Amino acid sequence: MDQFHDRHHVRLRSCVLRTYLHADHDGERVSLSRRRDSLNTAWVVHIHQLADGPYLLLHSAAYGRYLGTTFKPAPLGHHGCRTEQRDHDDEQDLMAVMWKAARAGFRDIVLLRSVAGRYLRANGRYLPWNTGVTVDNKVSALMYWTVEPIPAREGPPGLQGPIHTPSPGYHSLMLWRNPVVSRLIRFMLSDPNGPIYTQHCWTTFRFRGRSVFHLRDEVARRIAFVLDGRQSFDLVMCVRAGRQGRLTPLVVDLPSSGYGETLWIVVFMSRTPAYDVLRHPDVNAE
């Protein structure tokens, strides 16, 4: 566990395949990717203390959701059971997202063992298109991972540029294979020293599309009366994946799936102590 430091960012690289643990763009699946310079291959360390010692939780630096286990059979060509990105709401969720990290006995290689005793496993050694990440009981070199620390950068990265959201209607249904994702956004503005959660602190609106750029503009429009001369780019939105989930800066477009889901967002304004302590990974650092 000494390679994992609370609230710091890391990558996990398969020692055999040399690919990285990746939070897929649908916000649900977990796979392997060769891309190193991506927030989808960056994970935030969350150390959870229990009576029998510390446990490791990892949440995606892209979407904030936690690396979790399931008992769903892995797809054809994979071993064990599926992993997934999931929210952290209650005790049942906690059991699915807790890991123990142990050294494999040589170099800096680690194994990640779930509460159920299954190990995080890469796939695709002989069939490279099988890129899913699973958990399995059968020991294999594909369970060996290298931990790469990611340094912090100064200030938040710029958002991805705006993407077009087609207007609803008959023609869009005919021309677009998939419907435009629509979500319920529930957001609150943090106090200067950090968020204070109350029952009535949330503002709710419906948002269509995936553009994080448009989402920030819409949030800024709704709190314009308190911005005190600040612009939308002076805001950082943090997503909270579940009631027990930690806040994660949201700087990539929203997941491609999730129609009808609710996204919980805490907004921080520049030139406040709470804004200044947010940690952002420098995914381009060597």
Same domain as 63, residue 182: no
Q: In the listed set 150, 166, 187, which residue is the last one of a domain according to the structure? A: 150
Q: What is the mean pLDDT of the chain?
A: 91
265 and 217 in a common domain: yes
d(CA 169, CA 117): 50
In CATH, what number is assigned to the domain containing residue 195?
A: 3.10.20.90
Q: Which domain holds residue 51?
A: 9-150
For residue range 95-139, what is the model confidence (pLDDT) as tens digits?
Answer: 999 999 998 877 789 999 999 999 999 999 988 889 999 999 998
Is there a domain that residue 4 lies in? no
Domain boundary among 97, 115, 150: 150
pTM of the model as a whole: 0.92
State pLDDT tens for residues 171-227: 444 454 566 788 999 999 999 999 999 888 999 999 999 999 999 999 999 999 888
In a domain, 196, yes or no: yes
Question: What is the C-alpha to C-alpha distance for residues 195 and 248, in angstroms, rounded to an integer?
Answer: 13
* Residues 116, 184 within the same domain: no
